[in-house]
Structures are given as C-alpha cells and as structure tokens.
Amino acid sequence: MQFAKGIAFLLANAALVSCSVPTRTDFPVELDKLRDESLASDQKVTAILLTAGNIDRYSAPPSRSRPSTSLQGRADWSYRVGTGDVLDIVVWDHPELTSPAGINRSPEEGGLRVQSDGRFFYPYIGHVDARGRTPEEIRADLVTQLSRFIPDPQIVVRVVRYASQAVSVTGEVGSASRQFLTEQPLTLLDAIDASGGLSEKADPGRVVVRRNGDVYSVDLQEFLERGDARGNPMLIDGDVVSVPKRQLQEAYLLGQIVDPSTIDLSVDDVTLTQALTRVGGLVEDRADARGVFVFRNSADGVQVFQLDVGSPLAFLLGTRFALLADAVSDVDHACRGAGGKQQLTDAHRLGTGGLCWKHLSLTLG
C-alpha cells in the first residue's frame, strides 16, 4: 500500500487484554524496537522522537493555497435599458401622458414595456429607441421630442421592472437563483447572499465566474477575511457564478481512542492534542501512553513521529504539532505474552494497511 502525497498517519499505542484479533494494528513504543519493523520493506522510514527542542521543526501548518482572482473588476456601473424592461414615464401637469393606461393601475402595470425591437411607443412621438440607453438618455430624448407639443416639459423616466439582464448563481448556496440586474450594482457577495448565502460545504476561496465564454476564478474568501475588493467583483449581464463544494481534507483517527472518527482539516489547523481531544482521548484502561505515533509521507520516505504522552506536559507539547491533510489516526495495540514480553502478531509485522518497514533510521532530536 502506497501512502498518498501528504498523508500522515497518527497512531497511539495501547496495551491489549488479548492479541488474538488479527485485524488489529500494532507498532512498538520503544525506538530501538522499531528496527524489528524494518524487515521486508522497500520503504525508507525515519523515526523521530518529538521533544520540546525539535517539535517546531516538524509542525508547520498545512498550506491552503487558493487560485488567485483572475476576474478583472469594474470601476463603475450604469444600467442600460433592454428588451423586456418596463418604464414609468411621468410628465408633470400632464396626467394623460403620465398614465396613458389609466390612473387606477400601478406604474408597473401601466408602464411601457420595451419591445423586442428595443423600442416603446409613446403618445405624440411614436416609437422611441430605448435598448442600450440609460434612463437619463431616454429622458433627454423625450424632452427634445415633446418640446414640439409641450413648452418646457418636465419629465421623469425610471425603470419599474427589470427583466432584460440577469446573472445566475449555482452550486453550494442556499438556493440556486437567477437575479436581474438593476440600477444598483450587483457584486458577487450580493448575488450569493440573495441566493441564501453560502452552504456549510461551500468553498468561497474557489468561486468560478463564467463570462462571455471564459472562465475566471474568484477568491471570495480573501474579501471576507481581509477585505480585498478583488475578491468581490461587480457582476454583469450573462455571468454565471458557481460556488464549489469544499474539498475535504481529513485526519483519520482509529483504534484505542474513545470515539474513532475523522477530523476536518479543510477550514482550520488542528494540532495533535486537539485531534485526540475531539475524539475523546485515549482509552484509559488499554492505551499505552508511552507513545502516540504520527506517520507522514515525505520526499525521503515515511517519517514516523513519536510523542510520549505519559506526562500531561506532553499534551501541551502536542498543541505545537499541526496535523497535515489526510491524516490517519490509529491507537495501536502493544501485544504482550504471559511473561510481559511484547509479541508481534501478523498485524504488527505488517504495520498499517500491509506496510512493512525495512529501511529505518532513528532521530532523537
């Protein structure tokens, strides 16, 4: 069995009442006996006894690199009317022009819809171009044309229903949605919040925005944590936002601990002591406190870290040792015969998942 890149294996030794179960995994707690585990293996194994003097050398927290934001943000926003938008046009002192559909209808119900040709019909003037223009540009055009019939017309133009431009939000959000753009700029965070916010499984550091056939990465986490505006760009018509699921990075804790389970490392750093605490600690009547082992793959082979937790001070030392992603934790069994001499079962000789240790070196500091 080959260890995946970056994998760490945590093993806390335990004394057994019986060693008859062949599926149990054991590892010697004394460093000189580690040489007995070096038979029939192609792996190079380095055993390191963790002490106050060397633990910081091996306890660098895992890297959580994220793709940098590649989507260029916009500096300004000006809404331009499009097909399907509904306009409300008010001409002061001229109610017949303000509410041509009747005074009992709401502005949205009685408004003027921009047709598929990008125009709308207005009394006295006829068809007025609207698509691609701002409400202020439409107002200026109406003032010029109505001036032929009304002296100095006072006109207000506003959009009362936005239906021409939208963005889509999918993935790990409360509810996937399609959101129409308005006169107010829509940022990435606004769009996600309007979709119910991020789910518990969302990875805000790897948001994807598809725009005009291109795919851009956006690190929203950088904006949430540090206020970097590049991580919260303004969205435009046709953008598709996809919030991915956070990639699990777990430590696996097995064996003679109270609650064997996994520890999530994808969000926060977790130390050795934290991990053991979260699973209830060692089983007091069976755990051998002389050693907690952490197995970690490296470029030079497998590193085996041993922490003797016989003293409470060792747990304090363990708060300085960060676990890496995909850590596997197992409380090992130290099998002993009638005379108290340690016996090696098949599981012991095989180590974890069929591993055997052949090339073994020891580091005490």
Architecture of domain 8-62+249-363: Roll (3.10)
**β-strand partners of 214:** 211
pLDDT attached to residue 340: 37
| Residue 160, φ and ψ in degrees, nearest 5 | -105, -10
Q: Specify whether the CB–CB gap between 209 and 235 falls below 8 A.
A: yes
Residue with tokens 């016989």: 310
pLDDT at 111 over 50: yes
Q: Which residue has the tokens 């996937």?
A: 176
Q: How far is CA 228 from CA 65, 197, 221, 266, 289, in A?
A: 16, 19, 9, 22, 47
Give yes or no for a contact between 317 and 52, defined as CB atoms under 8 angstroms apart.
yes
**299 — pLDDT class (breaks 50, 70, 90):** confident
Residues 188/208, Cβ–Cβ less than 8 Å: no
* Mean pLDDT, the chain, integer: 77
Whole-structure pTM value: 0.67
8-62+249-363 with 86-161: one CATH topology?
Answer: no
pLDDT at 342: 35
Write the pLDDT tens digit of every residue in 155-174: 999 999 999 999 999 999 99
Q: Where residue 190 falls among pLDDT bands split at 50, 70, 90?
A: very high
Distance (Å, rounded) from C-alpha 37 to C-alpha 3?
17
Q: What is the pLDDT of residue 17?
A: 33
Q: Is the pLDDT of residue 341 over 80?
A: no
Domain ranges of the chain: 8-62+249-363, 86-161, 166-243
CATH number of 86-161: 3.30.1950.10
Position 32, amino acid: D
- Residue 50: its pLDDT value, please? 84
CATH for 166-243 (3.40.1280.10, 3.40.228.10, 3.10.560.10, 3.10.105.10):
3.10.560.10
pLDDT (0 to 100) of residue 223: 94
Give the residue with greater pLDDT, 72 vs 134.
Answer: 134
Q: C-alpha distances in angstroms, 195 versus 62, 156, 175, 192, 322?
A: 32, 33, 5, 5, 36
